[in-house]
A and B are shown apart, each in its own frame.
Chain A
Amino acid sequence: MTATSAFFERLTVAGQDPRFSNVCGSVRFDIRDGDRLEQWLLNIDHGRMRVTRSAGPAETVIRVSAEVAEAMARGEVNGLAAITRGEILVDGDLAMALRIGRLFPRASEQADSDGRK
């Protein structure tokens, strides 16, 4: 399994995220690998998250290459910087996309275990 699918599978299982309890909306990830298009649809209803592999309509669409998606899932991407340099394309609600970005890990987080409370 790729890091990307593992990431979305984790979200599917988690189902609920208290950080999104004020959030309602839909976001679709369109991940392109050559001719192949992988689509994941996130529906958020007051923190309850439904994740499906779907091409269904969404208020916000995030388009990335498979390579960038893998890096995101591994926590190696600063989302805002990647948007600014044109690697992540957001159509729709940019604020929503930035919120969703918080679901992705950051590499230094995984290495971090020293002395923080």
Chain B
Amino acid sequence: MRDIPGTVSCIDGNTFLVSDASGDVESSSNTPVGLFAADTRFLSHWVLTVNGERLNALSVDDSQYYEVTFFVVPGGAVDYVQADVSAIRRRRIGPDLTESLTMFNYGQQDVDLDVRLEVAADFADIFEIKFNVQDKVGSHYTRVEPKELRLGYRRGTYRREVSLSASEPATFDPHGLRFTARLRPGEQWSTELRVVMRALRPDGVDFRAPLRALRPHDSTLPESVRAWVEAAPKLDTENIALQQVYQRSLVDLAALRFAPLSLGGASVPAAGLPWFMTLFGRDSLLTCLQTLPVTPSLTPPTLRILGSLQGARTDDVLDEDPGRILHELRYGESAAFEEQPHSPYYGTVDASPLFVVLLDEYERWSGDTALVTELEQEARAALAWIDQYADLRSTGYIWYHSRNPATGLENQCWKDSWDSISYADGRLPSFPRATCETQGYAYDAKIRGARLARTVWGDPDYADRLEREAAALYDRFNEDFWLDDRGYYALALDGEGNRVDSLSSNIGHLLWSGIVPPERASRVVEHLMGPALFSGWGVRTLAEGQSRYNPLGYHNGTVWPFDNSFIAWGLRRYGFASEAARVAEGILYAATYFQGRLPEAFGGFDRHTTRYPVRYPTAGSPQAWSSGASMLLLRTMLGINPHEDHLAVDPALPSAFARIALLDIPGRWGKVDAFARHRPDQP
């Protein structure tokens, strides 16, 4: 897995194309470039030449996520370019790919053009690319027809195929196609290439056909994006940076929407480009929580699909238990043949409580009790999972210990890399592990579940029971996790119940969940905003001074915008408005260094030292919960909260933002506006 600088992406949900700046794709085995759908690479090579020469980009327009236009001329970048001949490649992605190619002759003489497109399809699974697996079990096939080239891959009953055709006469061969044209001075020539990706069943039916039926033509995309942006609240501010982040985030959330086959056309957010273009329980739930004030339409389908795929049985390979909400769902070859446990994989301990948290928060915004009724059983099962299946040590906590040591996840909290949970001295704790923020989510889920039971499900006894359990968890947690000499909560408990004493950003989530006694909050906040955790841009995942701290450590020192957005929400919950505003300012300003697009993570270096946020090498971008972070930070600055049937507004802006208005915020109140001005008596 490595960074791919200089790439250009074209995205439509879990279908995407990553190419170089001239529009070409030349994949190497471990780089995620090419055309992908459903976790499979359908084009691994896509190289255009004109009279034997590669093309070179003069400019690229990727302002629409589903469409990219490359202005190209033949010849290498180092040569003097005699641009008599120039070309425009315009590609658009939907369920399939179309690319129009137009060649111009602005010279004084006739030119003969030999236009060649080299094509190959390796049908690599995204995990084969991630882990650099080269040998495929099945076999490839090629069919050259007069008007079409078909490349396919077959393994037993599994079959994937890509076909390439063109609107102009072309000669097809096993490695691509060729056009010849003569252009007189001032003339132009063009063709449209069509690439169709199929997932074929043995009876010839294409799994992907319903996706095309739902969106008959890719030309409907601009309309769908326009409607999406139109439906969202309008941001009115004098701050151009904030305006840019908001628009970018809104459009990126549109880009990452995809329609799983089992949802009949409704869209849910995919987690992020390029490695996570699929459904993740945690990512989609947190993204929905972040975006409720702006794009609430994401939430019902997300809850429905996660509910419909909720664990029902005990399966050690999938880490499945009854009631457990899934971690990751994949459609590629490695999932199909169970070489990876992703169909679906349940190895997460936070998605189940967060499912209940989102259901409640959604109802508070929307008043949609019908959905709460529809998902009552799923919510009850998720709550039951917390006590019946997650409490591996019978101590009243959510613990994790994967039952699939070969391909399961060691760490099943949001920091899910292998070394993310460590003691301050760097040692890795034994299993099972219970991370602190997960207990906060469980507490919040019980409180919120009780509200739903009382107000919607008509079950006050169950509500009382959940509240009693929540109160007991609150007391227990504050006894067992609190490090009184340090003034913060332990990152986790280890397999023997000892405290894992690292100082980490996880303590910020506890404020969001409300499990911190008010008298302890200021000590927690001092740590969050102190120099060891706060970089100036945001709160680091792991504090400076911890043995494993590294400003470029994936979960051990980088700053994650999503993490910070929930910390800011927690700070506001406990009345630390100016601290929340500082976090919001830092993260939103960092976004300006990424053209308004917050990446998955960036370096934890001190803001005053580097003066810009250092790019994290393999950060996903766009990333749904990073796009969602700007929405949640906006919510925290405006202090908007549903109260019964109206929206309360209690703004606290950082000095960087003089005025913010969010207009037409949808909810049970219809549509209302929230206005905020920076007050000089605030920081």
Contacts and interface: CB of A to CB of B under 8 A. Distances in A.
Contacts of A99: 308
A58 interface: no
A22 B314 contact: no
Given A80-B344, A99-B308, A117-B391, A86 B201 contact: yes
A18 B336 CA distance: 30
Nearest to A96: B262
A116 B387 CA distance: 11
A80 B316 CA distance: 16
A81 B315 contact: no
Interface string B220-249: 000000000000000000000000000000
A62 to B, nearest CB: 13
Contacts of B338: 78, 81
Given A78-B343, A81-B335, A86 B313 contact: no
A81 B337 contact: yes
Interface string A75-88: 00010110011110
Interface stretch (B5-13, B153-161, B281-289, B655-663): B153-161
A86 B377 contact: no
B102 interface: no
A98 B316 contact: no
Interface string A11-29: 0000000110110000000
B258 to A, nearest CB: 15
A35 interface: no
A112 B403 CA distance: 12
A66 interface: no
Query: How many of chain B's residues touch chain A, expressed as a range?
Result: 35 or more
A105 B322 CA distance: 12
A71 interface: no
B519 interface: no
- Of the listed residues A22, A86, A116, the one surrounded by the most CB atoms of chain B closer than 10 A to its CB is A86
Interface string B311-337: 011111110100000000101010111
A106 B309 contact: no
A102 interface: yes
Contact of B336 (A21, A84, A106): A84
A98 B388 contact: no
Given A80-B344, A81-B336, A89-B201, A106 B314 contact: yes
Nearest to A20: B377
B275 interface: no
Given A78-B338, A117-B394, A85 B157 contact: yes
Contacts of A85: 155-158, 333, 336-337
Interface in B141-177: 155-159
B263 A19 contact: no
B337 A98 contact: no
B447 to A, nearest CB: 23
Nearest to A79: B343
A21 B308 contact: no
Interface residues of A, number: 26
Nearest to B331: A84
B314 A108 contact: yes
A89 B206 CA distance: 11
A84 B335 contact: yes
B596 to A, nearest CB: 36
B313 A89 contact: no
A78 B318 contact: yes
Contacts of A22: 374, 377
A109 B159 contact: no
Contacts of A84: 158, 331, 335-336, 343
Contacts of B314: 106, 108-109, 112, 116
A87 B157 contact: yes
B57 to A, nearest CB: 37
Contacts of B313: 102, 105-106, 109
Given A85-B337, A102-B312, A109-B314, A80 B343 contact: yes
Interface string A89-115: 101011100110010011011001000
Nearest to B308: A95
- Of the listed residues B262, B318, B338, the one surrounded by the most CB atoms of chain A closer than 10 A to its CB is B262
A106 B388 contact: no
Nearest to B313: A106
A3 B371 CA distance: 38
Nearest to A75: B313
B388 A108 contact: no
Contacts of A78: 315, 318, 338, 343
A95 B313 CA distance: 17
A116 B309 CA distance: 22
B516 to A, nearest CB: 29
Contacts of A117: 387-389, 391, 394
Contacts of A95: 262-264, 308
Contacts of B391: 117
Given A81-B338, A89-B201, A98-B308, A108 B156 contact: no
A86 B202 contact: yes
B135 interface: no
A99 B189 CA distance: 53
B262 A98 contact: yes
A102 B324 CA distance: 13
B203 interface: yes
Interface of A: 18-19, 21-22, 78, 80-81, 84-87, 89, 91, 93-95, 98-99, 102, 105-106, 108-109, 112, 116-117
14 contacts: A19-B312, A78-B343, A81-B336, A85-B155, A85-B156, A85-B333, A86-B156, A86-B202, A87-B157, A94-B261, A102-B312, A109-B313, A112-B314, A116-B314
Given A78-B343, A106-B314, A108-B314, 14 more contacts: A19-B377, A81-B335, A81-B343, A86-B157, A86-B200, A89-B202, A93-B264, A95-B264, A98-B262, A102-B312, A108-B316, A112-B314, A116-B389, A117-B387
- Nearest 5 CB-CB pairs, A to B? A86-B157, A85-B336, A102-B312, A84-B336, A81-B343
